[in-house]
């Protein structure tokens, strides 16, 4: 399929203009806490046929720290001298906003770290409402990995993915904002389909940013009111009947472990329960590991129960 034909696609829910952005930032400890301060912004604008129609690139003078970390200088080849005459973030963002322009759009980045850091910097300068210049958002990394059948749980770097997808990297230096934006655009343009756009383009409203900035955490207190005791009841994968829990729960590495036995086949299992608090509420995941690989010979009354809080209840 030719490039022109490949790019001439449009989702029924997708916007007219795509903004593919990449940021470079320097993390530092400040009196207000750790801050990822943007030092470079690069972006390309695509029309609904995925043709590049404009580019944006600028360095950003950091205000919270004057020295770049060694790792950042090594990756980007940006020096402290390079940033001396650059404009500050407030001025640069006004220029970026003018470049994006009015109307419907969709911002994309390779992974959602960039959009998170952009939001962080706007918040730092009391400009949070400016984030709504972005009307829709799409994680280009997730879309591209889905297109190649790669698990979304994996985090594949841009260059490594481009090689796997047979997208030309060229001679441009990576880890520079504009070059990375161009490469992300080539990956996105090659692999996107209307169906993938419908799946991954999200409206960038208040709830979107609340969800993005929510800090998920693992729940370790089983007495927490969010815990649903019936969720701990687990069926035997062989017999499809609920098993009896034989032991009290032990918490290790933020997981809750207990032994279960099936009344029908006698199999014993170690089961770990991971309780994760997300923006949408409690997420309960279970992992079953059969003990010994052979059915247990002990008899059981086949009773099922809710999680016990002490040894007497579990015995």
Are residues 171 and 258 located together in one domain of the fold?
A: no
pLDDT at 311 over 90: no
Domain carrying residue 195: 3-213
Domain end call among 168, 193, 213:
213
Are residues 208 and 76 located together in one domain of the fold?
A: yes
Instruction: Check if the beta carbon of residue 279 is closer than 8 Å to that of residue 211.
Output: yes
Q: What CATH number does residue 101 fall under? A: 3.30.420.10
Are residues 195 and 232 located together in one domain of the fold?
A: no
Per-chain mean pLDDT for the chain: 88
Are residues 72 and 131 located together in one domain of the fold?
A: yes
Output the pLDDT for position 138: 97
Query: Average pLDDT of 163-185?
Result: 92
Cα 72 from Cα 28, distance rounded (Å):
11
Output the pLDDT for position 16: 61
User: What is the pLDDT confidence band of residue 260, given thresholds at 50, 70 and 90?
Assistant: very high
pLDDT at 297 over 90: no
Are residues 140 and 53 located together in one domain of the fold?
A: yes
Domain end call among 177, 194, 213:
213
Are residues 209 and 223 located together in one domain of the fold?
A: no
CA distances from 169 to 47, 70, 172 (A): 22, 25, 7
Are residues 256 and 169 located together in one domain of the fold?
A: no
pLDDT at 15 over 50: no
User: What is the pLDDT confidence band of residue 293, given thresholds at 50, 70 and 90?
Assistant: low
Instruction: Check if the beta carbon of residue 63 is closer than 8 Å to that of residue 83.
Output: no
Longest dimension (CA), the chain: 78
> Which residue from 238, 250, 248, 214 is spatially nearest to 288, judged by alpha carbons?
238
Are residues 165 and 130 located together in one domain of the fold?
A: yes
Query: Which residue in this structure is represented by tokens 């990756």?
Result: 75
Domain end call among 172, 191, 213:
213
Output the pLDDT for position 269: 96
Are residues 225 and 140 located together in one domain of the fold?
A: no
pLDDT at 39 over 50: yes
Instruction: Check if the beta carbon of residue 255 is closer than 8 Å to that of residue 274.
Output: yes
Number of domains forming the structure of the chain: 2
Are residues 157 and 229 located together in one domain of the fold?
A: no
pTM summary value: 0.77
Query: Which residue in this structure is represented by tokens 């069926």?
Result: 235
Comparing 267 with 292, which gets the higher pLDDT?
267
Are residues 61 and 105 located together in one domain of the fold?
A: yes
Output the pLDDT for position 312: 33
Instruction: Classify 84 as helix, strand or coil.
Output: coil
Are residues 160 and 285 located together in one domain of the fold?
A: no
User: What is the pLDDT confidence band of residue 95, given thresholds at 50, 70 and 90?
Assistant: very high
Cα 38 from Cα 58, distance rounded (Å):
11
């Amino acid at each position: 399929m030719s490039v022109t034909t490949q790019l001439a696609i449009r989702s029924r829910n997708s916007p007219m203009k795509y903004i593919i952005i990449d940021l470079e930032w320097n993390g530092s400890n400040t009196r207000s806490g750790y801050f990822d301060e943007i030092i470079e912004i690069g972006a390309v604008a695509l029309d609904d046929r995925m043709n590049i129609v404009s580019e944006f690139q600028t360095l950003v003078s950091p205000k919270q720290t004057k020295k770049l970390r060694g790792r950042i200088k090594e990756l980007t080849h940006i020096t402290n001298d390079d940033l001396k005459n650059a404009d500050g973030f407030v001025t640069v963002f006004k220029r970026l906003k003018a470049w994006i322009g009015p109307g419907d759009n969709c911002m994309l980045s390779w992974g959602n770290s960039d959009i998170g850091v952009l939001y962080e910097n706007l918040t730092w300068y009391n400009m949070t409402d400016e984030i709504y210049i972005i009307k829709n958002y799409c994680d280009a990394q997730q879309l591209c990995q889905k297109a190649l059948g790669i698990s979304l749980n994996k985090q594949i770097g841009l260059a490594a993915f481009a090689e796997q997808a047979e997208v030309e990297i060229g001679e441009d230096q990576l880890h520079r904002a504009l070059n990375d934006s161009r490469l992300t655009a080539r990956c996105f343009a090659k692999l996107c389909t209307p169906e993938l756009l419908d799946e991954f383009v999200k409206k960038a409203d208040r709830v979107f940013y609340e969800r993005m900035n929510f800090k998920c955490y693992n729940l370790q207190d089983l007495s927490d009111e969010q815990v649903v005791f019936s969720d701990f009841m687990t069926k035997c994968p062989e017999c499809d009947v609920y098993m009896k829990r034989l032991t009290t729960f032990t918490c290790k590495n933020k997981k809750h472990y207990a032994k279960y036995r099936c009344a029908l086949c006698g199999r014993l299992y170690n089961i770990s329960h991971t309780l994760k608090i997300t923006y949408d509420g409690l997420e309960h995941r279970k992992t079953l590991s059969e003990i010994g690989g052979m059915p247990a010979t002990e008899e059981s009354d086949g009773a099922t129960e809710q999680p016990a809080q002490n040894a007497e209840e579990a015995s």
